[in-house]
Amino acid sequence: MKPRPTFPARLDSGVRAGLVLRQPIAVPLHKASPAAKPHSSAFEASRKSMVAKLVGLGLSDRQVRAAMETVPRHMFVDTALEGQAYEDTSLPIGLGQTISKPGVVARMIELLCNGRSDMLGRVLEIGTGCGYQAAVLSLVAREVYSIERLRALHDKARENLRTFRLPNVHLLFGDGMAGFAKGAPYAGIIAAAGGEAIPVAWTYQLAVGGRLVAPVTVHGGVSGAVGSQALVVIDKSAHGLHQTVCETVHFVPLKSGTA
């Protein structure tokens, strides 16, 4: 059996991915190390309020709702921005990149789950960023591969996620447009950057029966604006690919290579 890459930090192998959502009290996401920000619990009410607003806007998936309520978003942003962590807004994380709006994260993961009652299988995330979405995905998927093209952000995500000891999250540094063939096939692929088209590598690496959710540049589409982005869902069956164009979104551009 070919070896798979593992998370850079030393992990608590006694915590199983399958336990994460079913026994939230025991989830490592609640166990901050001494180096973590000590006032995490003070944000719990804000986090619950954020999720309540997302439910009011249409979030209905039970697993996604529980995951959003569990992951402390304030621990993935700079200290100066903690007060805005639970507002439905994107925030800068450096290098011209942002942490996506909670509403967008919830929407995309809900689309990825597609109403299933059990956990997703292996998921590929394109664009780790600060690691927040990977943490949310870890609670709804059995295994998460997350790839980031910017070394500084890859390192930041590694430090952010080290505290939580998530054994089912694997962080990769590389060109996200190429995907990660060694981990394929994936039950789901989700992208945090938008290009002119979905890279062919992603559709090849998507399993039959799998789903891909990503922003794509459209021309005169959902919003009618030239060069605007829309959320696109691609379902792969034995007969081919089926594409659904959803609402207008705004993501950083998808780029190739590493930096």
Can you say whether the dihedral through the CA atoms of 47, 48, 51, 57 is positive or negative? negative
Residues annotated as catalytic are 100
Residues 107-145: pLDDT tens digits?
Answer: 999 999 999 999 999 999 999 999 999 999 999 999 999
Q: Is residue 256 a part of any domain in this protein?
A: no
Beta-carbon neighbour count of residue 41 at 10 Å?
10
Sheet holding 169-173, edge to edge: 169-173, 141-148, 120-126, 186-191, 206-219, 226-237, 240-249
Which pLDDT does position 207 carry in this prediction?
98
Q: Would 259 be classed as within a structural domain?
A: no
For the residues 81-91, what does the mean pLDDT come to?
Answer: 97
The pLDDT tens digits of the residues spanning 18-65 come to 223 322 323 446 444 334 444 456 799 999 999 999 999 999 999 999
In a domain, 2, yes or no: no
Domains of the chain: total = 1
| Predicted pLDDT of residue 218 | 84
Examine residue 97 and state whether it is found in any structural domain, yes or no: yes
Q: Which domain holds residue 168?
A: 17-22+38-249
254 in a structural domain: no
Determine, yes or no, domain membership for 189. Answer: yes
Is residue 139 domain-resident? yes
Q: Is residue 49 part of a domain?
A: yes
For the segment 160-209, what is each residue's pLDDT rounded down to a tens digit?
A: 999 999 999 999 999 999 999 999 999 999 999 999 999 999 999 999 99
CA geometry: angle 210, 214, 217, nearest 5 deg: 140
CATH value at residue 124:
3.40.50.150
| Cβ atoms of residues 182 and 4 within 8 Å | yes
**pTM for the full model?**
0.85
